[in-house]
């Protein structure tokens, strides 16, 4: 990993996140975008975000908690969690990010231990951090996937337009 002084993307494991998933996501950012990366020390599971009525974890609460943390040297943070996430308008989400924010989440819970799926979700959510909306290109990683079948059909890269926007917004 590049640990230079330039602002980096921090990869933050929450809960029981295996090294294979961390390395796959870190490798995707190093390869697809060429970003400086820092794998951060892992934190425990986000018990504070558990919703006992839904029996899931509130993605917005996790994002807010991470945003309140001072993570030195990281312009943005990609958190990998091993729990099932929700936002109020969906039954579940694979990931979540605030458009233009600095923290994104990837839930590994429904991905059946497949690193390629985690990579797709991480790149997709990072696109939202870079102000991208969902893309109409069917293979672009920014194409919206509401299930595993759709997720498996998108590529592990951005279309030309989305990549140029990500590079611009990420300062690359």
Cβ neighbors of 130 (< 8 A, separation 6 or more) are: 100, 165, 166, 168, 169, 170
6, 20, 116, 125: the catalytic one is: 125
Pairing of strands 103-107, 74-81: parallel
> Distance (Å, rounded) from C-alpha 144 to C-alpha 138?
9
CA angle 9, 138, 164 (to 5 degrees): 40
In 5-73, DSSP assigns E strands to 8-14, 37-39, 50-51, 56-58
Q: Is 125 a catalytic residue?
A: yes
Active site positions, annotated: 125
């Amino acid at each position: 990993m590049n640990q230079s002084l330039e602002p980096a993307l921090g990869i933050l494991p929450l809960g029981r996140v295996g090294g294979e998933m961390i390395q796959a996501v870190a490798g995707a950012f190093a390869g697809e975008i060429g970003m400086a990366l820092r794998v951060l020390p892992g934190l425990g599971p986000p018990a504070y975000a558990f919703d006992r009525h839904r029996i899931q974890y509130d993605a917005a609460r996790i994002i807010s908690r991470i945003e309140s943390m001072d993570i030195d040297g990281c312009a943005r943070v990609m958190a990998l969690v091993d729990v099932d996430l929700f936002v109020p308008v969906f039954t579940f989400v694979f990931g979540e990010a605030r458009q233009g924010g600095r923290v994104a989440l990837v839930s590994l819970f429904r991905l059946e231990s497949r690193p390629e799926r985690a990579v797709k979700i991480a790149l997709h959510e990072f696109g939202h951090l870079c102000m991208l909306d969902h893309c109409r290109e069917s293979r672009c990683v920014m194409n919206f996937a509401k299930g595993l079948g759709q997720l498996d059909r998108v590529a592990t890269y951005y279309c030309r337009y989305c990549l140029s926007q990500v590079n611009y917004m990420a300062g690359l």
